């Protein structure tokens, strides 16, 4: 019973990471104002990296960058597991 709950939790986590990984910055995130702005701060001004929005945009970009190849492998393992034991 305990492992059944952990399996479903693992599926939910993988689905959430997949959803974050496929968000298109150009098509979706920029339209709602969550795109990365590529500007150079002038005269010593710094960018706002402390807001929740900036941290969320950085998290989305990091997940897309870091998890691209591992997600392919994880998804293949889950698909094969479901086909064999499904």
- For the chain, what are the domain ranges? 2-85
Residue pair 65/59 in contact by the 8 Å Cβ criterion: no
Instruction: Please write the tens of the pLDDT for every residue from 7-65.
Output: 888 889 999 999 988 887 777 777 787 776 655 555 655 666 678 888 888 888 888 88
By C-alpha distance, which of 52, 53, 12 is closest to 29? 53
* Cα 76 off chain centre by: 18
The answer, as to whether pTM is greater than 0.75, is no
With cut-offs at 50, 70 and 90, classify the pLDDT of residue 82: confident
pLDDT for residue 1 is more than 50:
no
Tokens 């150079």: give the residue.
40
Residue 27 is predicted with a pLDDT of 78
């Amino acid at each position: 019973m305990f492992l059944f709950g952990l399996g479903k939790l693992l599926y939910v986590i993988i689905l959430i990471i997949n959803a974050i990984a496929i968000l298109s910055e150009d098509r979706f995130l920029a339209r709602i104002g969550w795109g990365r702005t590529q500007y150079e701060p002038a005269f010593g001004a710094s960018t706002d990296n402390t807001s929740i929005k900036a941290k969320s945009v950085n998290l989305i970009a990091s997940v897309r960058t870091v998890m691209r190849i591992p997600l392919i492998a994880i998804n293949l393992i889950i698909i094969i597991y479901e086909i064999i034991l499904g």
